[in-house]
Amino acid sequence: MLSASASSPSLVATLNDDANGPTPKGAKDATVGPARNVTTAAMKNHDRSSQTGVPATEPSRIRARHDQPSRFAIPSMHPRAEELIRTLHLEPHIEGGHYRRIYESRSRVAYGDQAARAVATSIYFLLAAGELSRWHRVDADELWHYYEGQPLELLRFDPVEGVLTRHVLGPASRESDPVFVVPAGMWQAARPLGAYTLAGCTVAPGYEYRGFALLDQAPEVARQLDALDAALLDLG
């Protein structure tokens, strides 16, 4: 369980809420940042041979996170979440939760220095209580859509500006929005605020695995998040 202190951002207090607890009113969006400066020399002094991909200069609490099993035990899944997994033919996702690709555009588009890729792709994405969408980055814009279940907490981190923002995806209300965009290159993590959340994720240009990265592959970003609050690494 994450804990909040007098020096911790209000975001961490929100993360400490019970997964089935209500979303605080007026907490649709929150911003934390900028992050404290990270020592450039330490960030560059990576141990490239490390099997974990974590620099030898990282604080021990960061390295331990890569070597130990997740502390988040998955409770028994809500019957509706289990039904959705069966009905929608969802499979486990590398970042957490369950998904299935439901659309890939036949139209192709050039993107940066890459060969042509689909104009857009879309998936179903389900997170049940106790599951996380771990910190990750996609090289294209990602549009989240709320479909069913309880609201979903989305964290977005801009490593250039060092700014962390919090958003709630859910039914249209004062506390949540049914659509949210994560621009290309920004880091994101998510967790359900109740028993389960069924969402959709559309990526444009279309998602390709080579444009995807987890926090294990970005120790510099892990250091920035740790500088904001070490509890954020628990979402990695």
Model confidence at 75, pLDDT cuts 50, 70, 90, reads: low
Any bridge partners for residue 32, and if so which? 164
The pLDDT-based confidence of 76 (bands split at 50, 70, 90) is confident
All domains of the chain in start order, with CATH: 10-36+78-216 (2.60.120.10)
Query: Is a pLDDT exceeding 80 seen at residue 20?
Result: no
- 184-200 confidence digits (pLDDT tens): 999 999 999 999 999 99
Q: Residue 32: its pLDDT value, please?
A: 53
Determine which of 48-52, 100-104, 133-137 has the lowest per-residue pLDDT on average.
48-52
Q: Which of 3-12, 26-35, 157-166 has the lowest mean pLDDT?
A: 3-12
**Looking at per-residue confidence, does 34 or 126 come out higher?**
126
Confidence tier at 29 by pLDDT (50, 70, 90): low
| Whether pLDDT at 162 is above 50 | yes
Percent of the chain residues past pLDDT 90, beyond the cut: 63
Question: In angstroms, rounded to a whole number, what is the distance separating the alpha carbons of residues 213 and 189?
Answer: 12
pLDDT higher than threshold 80 for residue 163? yes
pLDDT tens, position by position, 93-123 = 999 999 999 999 999 998 877 778 999 999 9
Q: What does the buried/exposed string (b/e) look like for 137-174 if buried means 16 or more CB atoms within 10 Å of the residue's CB?
A: bbbbbbebbbeebbbbbbbbbbbeebbbbbbbbbeeee
36 with 227: CB under 8 angstroms? yes
Higher-confidence residue of 38 and 128: namely: 128
The CA-based dihedral angle spanning residues 16, 21, 27, 30, taken in that order and rounded to the nearest 10 degrees: 30
- Range in 125-129, 184-188, 209-213 with the lowest mean pLDDT: 209-213
Rg (CA), the chain: 18
